[in-house]
Structure 1
Amino acid sequence: METEIQTPGEQDFAGDDRVLPFEVDGLDVRGRTVQLGPMIDAILGRHAYPEPVARLLAEAIALTVLLGTSLKFEGKLIVQTKGDGPVDLLVADFSTPGNLRAYARFDAERLAAAEAAGTTKPAELLGNGILAFTIDQGAYMQRYQGIVEMKGDTLEAMAETYFRQSEQIPTIVRLAVAELIDRDEDGKPRHSWRAGGIVVQFLPQAPDRMRTPDLPGGDLPEGMEAIMHDEDDSWAEAKALVTTVDPGELTDPEVGAERLLYRLFHERGAKVYPPVPVFDKCSCSRERLGEVLDGFSEEELEHSIENGVITVQCEFCSTAYKFDPAEFRR
């Protein structure tokens, strides 16, 4: 069975910085895939993160845009890790319909020690802590937050644990990051980042088919046996196919999202829908920061003054805003 490419008119391929939704009816799965180029290169480049930190944040960004573009309402999705490792905080903030900002906080000395010791796997850099998914639907709606312990060697595994425990949706996640080094027209070295990912979820019409083998629940009372559930054949097949994805396929622009889906699901048939563009766009503004400063005490204002002005720099986009202290003095 050939893959069905359902796009309106003469729609171009998704290309960079556009999330491609798809579904495979034959396996009862739906998902999204993306390749990030200029957008992620701009976000990582303005902070000049060390290579291990840049890779971690790039994976968090790819995961966030894959999930955030599925929101059907005006709001935001925030994906955040908080742990006791050298990289103690990752934040990726997605606002509908497609604006993203991201930030990583790390301890330079601890990171250098980890690099010297060769302990730079994601779990080693993040340490013990939590992975949180927050959905904010605006000022008049209650926030929803799902939190799981960071268990697993990779961010992929941690995200899959979240969906299994909090959402109870069988989910497989694959993320990849590539650091490209080439030369420009003058022969000078040129550096850029790429990232990619795919999320596939099993969503059959019959809810009982979504049951997966239970997580270990500790010691059972004497005489009781654990109830085991066989994995659905369609989901087992979908997982087996997605696990064959090579990291290079997720970031290589010569492969692209549509070709990747064809490689995976051409025997079953995949439908793709119009891609959703994502942008490097921060939500900070002079007005918002001015409102924050307006709530400062006189003492706090005095401590914030340097060279006669108050300078506030956005942690996400690095934009610096300068204020005259007289604007806020009572």
Structure 2
Amino acid sequence: MSGDVRERLPDDNAGQDRITPFQVEGLDVRGRIVTLGPAVDAMIAGHGYPEPVSRVLGEAVALGALLGASLKFEGRFILQTQTDGPVRMLVVDFESPNKVRACARFDAAAVAAAEDVRPAALLGRGHLAMTIDQGSDMARYQGVVELSGQGLEAAAHQYFAQSEQIPTFVRLAVAEEMSATGQGTRRSWRAGGLLVQFMPKDPARLARADLDPGDAPEGTAPHEVAEDDAWVEARTLAATVEDHELVDPGLSSERLLWRLFNERGVRVFEPQPVTNFCRCSQEAIRDMLSRFPLDDRAHMVEDGRITVTCEFCSTRYVVLPEDIGLPG
């Protein structure tokens, strides 16, 4: 019955990597909760990122999984930031239905010297691009949001208000978990996220105030539209979620959703597992190198070989010159 709406008992596998869709019919909202443990920890541990970078990347992975899980076809959802802050670029690549990989580029000295290490401060100013890739035979869709010192949560709210025009609430959380082992204390990363969207059958209930025109004559009254009572209630309930609840390995998504919406009768769909999976391969690396001009390929050779390290999973590949059209 995968995909069918059904009542679900609290799941004992609270700490697993998964996305759990839900619906609150009494409030006309749908949404998803993502819980990430080993998957996000593998992405971070494989690069040895500094703690502040690990936190902002964890948020990006949680957001990418929340949004990428909405794809109803085989394709990719790519979340990417380009900014002037210490963390200059984040990339999250979600391949439907459940594969995700991610990486970050950052200025190590700037991160170490930063007095404010909140994700918003580390990102700085630039833009957040969200791309839906349906394959080579279909056009890409891309939405872009300006980053002007706000974090990823605020950027997601801005995107849905401007581009999708769907009332949306997003909460992201990241934490470092410490556990005792026979070899000492083990540190691992967890991330979580909650997305709630107002989706009534009557489109008239989605009416929202116009965006600020910016150059309106002085004294012009702003356009105002009263928010739907159901959405106000849903958003208020969702906003009570605590960060620790989204990353607690002992709290299942079912139990958390019951805490938030039990008075309105929340219903839960079958969870979807999430896998940390990189698409790199020896063949893909050779194909990528073969696209460079011959002179460029020749300059890449060192000690009789070309070495390439995948930015996502840190796997090192060795390619021989003769494999990409160069003399051995």
- Same fold by TM (over 0.5)? yes
Q: What's the C-alpha RMSD, in Å, of the aligned pairs?
A: 1.9
Deviations 1:28-77 (A, max 9, x none): 00000021111111111000100111000101101111111121001000
**Contact 1:180–1:193 at 8 Å: present in 2 too?**
yes
SS at match of 1:138: coil
Deviations 1:86-122 (A, max 9, x none): 11100000001111110100011111121xxx22122
State the TM-score, normalizing by the size of structure 2: 0.93
Structure-2 residue corresponding to 1:262: 258
**Contact 2:21–2:271 at 8 Å: present in 1 too?**
yes
Determine which of 150, 153, 158 is the counterpart of 1:156.
Answer: 153
**Contact 2:14–2:250 at 8 Å: present in 1 too?**
no
Q: Which runs of 5+ in 2 are unaligned?
A: none
- The separation in 1 between residues aligned to 2:304 and 2:8, in whole angstroms, is 57
**What amino acid does structure 1 have at the position aligned with 2:284?**
R
Structure-1 residue corresponding to 2:238: 242
Structure-2 residue corresponding to 1:195: 191
C-alpha displacement at 1:127, in angstroms? 1.1
Determine which of 310, 316, 319 is the counterpart of 1:314.
Answer: 310
Structure-2 residue corresponding to 1:106: 106
Change beyond 3 A, Cα 1:197–1:222 = closer
**What amino acid does structure 1 have at the position aligned with 2:146?**
E
Determine which of 114, 117, 120 is the counterpart of 1:120.
Answer: 117
**Contact 1:15–1:257 at 8 Å: present in 2 too?**
no
SS at match of 1:135: strand
Structure-2 residue corresponding to 1:53: 53
C-alpha displacement at 1:152, in angstroms? 5.6
**Contact 2:8–2:268 at 8 Å: present in 1 too?**
no
SS at match of 1:262: helix
**Contact 1:28–1:204 at 8 Å: present in 2 too?**
yes
SS at match of 2:129: strand
**Contact 2:10–2:254 at 8 Å: present in 1 too?**
no
- The separation in 1 between residues aligned to 2:305 and 2:169, in whole angstroms, is 50
- The separation in 1 between residues aligned to 2:107 and 2:219, in whole angstroms, is 51
- The separation in 2 between residues aligned to 1:78 and 1:10, in whole angstroms, is 32
**What amino acid does structure 2 have at the position aligned with 1:94?**
F
- The separation in 2 between residues aligned to 1:311 and 1:95, in whole angstroms, is 26
**Contact 1:151–1:157 at 8 Å: present in 2 too?**
no
Determine which of 115, 134, 139 is the counterpart of 1:137.
Answer: 134
C-alpha displacement at 1:226, in angstroms? 2.5
**What amino acid does structure 2 have at the position aligned with 1:96?**
S
State the TM-score, normalizing by the size of structure 1: 0.93
- The separation in 1 between residues aligned to 2:314 and 2:11, in whole angstroms, is 36
Q: Would you say how many aligned residue pairs link Structure 1 and Structure 2?
A: 322
Structure-1 residue corresponding to 2:173: 176
- The separation in 1 between residues aligned to 2:198 and 2:262, in whole angstroms, is 18
- The separation in 1 between residues aligned to 2:10 and 2:232, in whole angstroms, is 35
SS at match of 1:150: strand
Structure-2 residue corresponding to 1:19: 19
SS at match of 1:267: helix
**What amino acid does structure 1 have at the position aligned with 2:103?**
Y
Q: Which runs of 5+ in 1 are unaligned?
A: none
- The separation in 1 between residues aligned to 2:68 and 2:78, in whole angstroms, is 8
> Which shows bigger deviation, 220-229 or 96-105?
220-229
- The separation in 1 between residues aligned to 2:128 and 2:119, in whole angstroms, is 13
- The separation in 2 between residues aligned to 1:239 and 1:138, in whole angstroms, is 35
C-alpha displacement at 1:6, in angstroms? 1.8
Deviations 1:249-295 (A, max 9, x none): 00002222011100000000111001111100011121121112222
**Contact 1:24–1:265 at 8 Å: present in 2 too?**
yes
- The separation in 1 between residues aligned to 2:326 and 2:149, in whole angstroms, is 51
